[in-house]
Amino acid sequence: MRSLTPRGALAGGVLAAALALTAGLATLSPLARPAAAADGLQQVTDFGSNPGNLAMYEYAPAGLPDNAPLVVAMHGCTQSASDYHAHSGWQKFADQWGFAVVYPQTSSANNSSSCFNWFDPAEDTRGRGEAASVVQMVEHAAAQYGTDRDRVFVTGLSAGGGMTANLLAAYPDVFAGGAVDAGLPAQCATSLAAASGCQYGDQHLTPEQWGDKVRDSYPGYAGPWPRVAIWQGTADRTVAPVNGTELRDQWTDVWGVGQTASGTRTLPGGTTESTYDDSTGRPAVALFSVSGMAHGLAVSPGPGTDQCGSTGTYYLDHICSSYYTGKFWGLDTAPDDGDEALPAPAGLTVTGTTDTGASLSWSAVSGAASYAVYRDGTEVGSPTGTSFTDTGLGAGTAYHYTVAAIDPSGAQGARSGAVTATTTGAAPECYTATNYHHVTAGRAHHSGGYTYANGSNQNMGLYNVAVTHTLKETSPGYFVVADGDC
């Protein structure tokens, strides 16, 4: 097993070492479907082709009605489905609020420390590997239980949290919401070499750059986006607390709501909740910061309404995160049966570009009072008609636009598919070279063995001749990583 760093464990294993792929994937032994265990957890072996070589376990309370929600809960390194079921508290709320739970389980055949491979594009992207196996589990369980397909959620701890973020990005059409506990932003790392940088340090990306990692995971998807809860301990030495901030930046940018909290409140266990509301005033993103908590899942043993779980390795006594996550998703209430949102505008078209502007038009939506125009995930206009000209843009640059209709009450409907407008004029110059040669050419600098782009300070990985990146000079002396974008 190749080890890149001796530091830290991601819920039970040295992350960069524990996340190393073993040579080849073993095939799970075929098992007959056993009777449910004493705690009601049951293995399912016939859920699909299982390209990611995972095991599926499920729990459903007695008398589960049709159209109930479904929660997917993903363990951390060295843990198991039964371990997560026993400690996390999800069984309590499945019984109380009425929903089924699916627990994917990986093994040492996939990863030497039984971590989900959140850093490997062959495993964590749409239609591939472990991510595809999880979605097959969702399809199987949804058919089995008659699940409400609009109320499917996913949560995970640590490496399971990293995979959760990737699933939300790759399958926003499957998951209505997610919760990332002590995890990593979606597509933070796309190789083992980059994993430790995500785990321990600031990646120096803008919210828009983080948001692009989500949008690029399912190109052309127009929404709606999952509602995301983020849990992070301030004393976590395994997954640096900056990951919570980066996750907040990523998903608020995807939602186009900005990074200023709509509200904050103090919760038990030294927890501060910051919420970021959508255009209807409903929280789209919530960041739960737990003061003094190390690496693990927050639980709070006891009989109280807002208590759950049991302590253990990486299950830490602070607050019942499963309770507040379930409340954030609305699992404690009946689904909203109000009027449906307006449909996405059709026919979004780029009608013209200049060096500094782009003009758009689209078809009218019946019942719309106005429209919201988004450039690269950020709202830039609210015309009452069906055309808009965006100004103040850079020359020779590609911009991505979507449009949503807004009804007279201010409720925003689904966003359209994206179109790309490329302004005229000279495009920024691009340079492809090794990290070492970028530094010697004055386009980047190095510190602590890592390379950073001048201007943007984006982490480019190790300072050597083995790592190659493309840098784009967007203004004199200001470089951004542009691999595949030049």
Q: Are 418 and 444 in the same domain?
A: no
Q: How far apart are CA 132 and CA 367, in angstroms?
A: 38
pLDDT attached to residue 8: 39
Find the domain containing 66 and state its range: 15-329
H or E element, residue 249: helix 242-255
pTM for the complete prediction? 0.67
The length of the chain in residues reads: 486
Catalytic site includes residue 158:
yes
Q: How far apart are CA 196 and CA 119, in angstroms?
A: 10
Q: Residue 234 pLDDT more than 60?
A: yes
The reply to whether 337 falls in a domain is no
Q: Are 451 and 359 in the same domain?
A: no
Q: Are 171 and 70 in the same domain?
A: yes
The reply to whether 343 falls in a domain is no
Q: Are 225 and 285 in the same domain?
A: yes
The reply to whether 9 falls in a domain is no
DSSP 118: T
Looking from the CA of 282 toward its CB, the CA atoms found within 13 Å total 14
Cis peptide before 224 (omega within 30 of 0): yes
Q: Residue 449 pLDDT more than 70?
A: yes
Lowest mean pLDDT among 1-10, 45-54, 151-160: 1-10
Q: Are 314 and 355 in the same domain?
A: no
The reply to whether 265 falls in a domain is yes
Structure tokens at 370: 């106005």
Q: Are 277 and 359 in the same domain?
A: no
Among 112, 114, 158, 196, the active-site one is 158
Query: Which one of 197-201, 318-322, 477-481 scores highest in mean pLDDT?
Result: 318-322
Average pLDDT, rounded, for the chain: 88
Q: Are 182 and 49 in the same domain?
A: yes
Best CA proximity match to 16, nearest among 189, 187, 167, 233: 189
pLDDT band at 340 (very low <50, low <70, confident <90, very high): low
Q: pLDDT tens digit string along 277-286?
A: 988 888 999 9
The reply to whether 105 falls in a domain is yes
283 alpha carbon, distance to own chain's centre = 16
Q: How far apart are CA 169 and CA 25, in angstroms?
A: 25
Q: How far apart are CA 175 and CA 153, in angstroms?
A: 5
Please give the full DSSP string across 199-242, using - where no structure is assigned: HHS-----HHHHHHHHHTTSTT---PPPEEEEEEETT-SSS-TH
Best CA proximity match to 154, nearest among 137, 139, 176, 130: 176
Final residue belonging to a domain, choices 297, 329, 361: 329
Q: Residue 26 pLDDT more than 60?
A: no
Instruction: Report angle CA 151, 157, 162 to the nearest 5 degrees.
Output: 85
The reply to whether 180 falls in a domain is yes
Residue 68: give its domain's CATH number. Answer: 3.40.50.1820
pLDDT attached to residue 37: 53
Residue 364: give its domain's CATH number. Answer: 2.60.40.10
Domains contained in the chain, number: 3
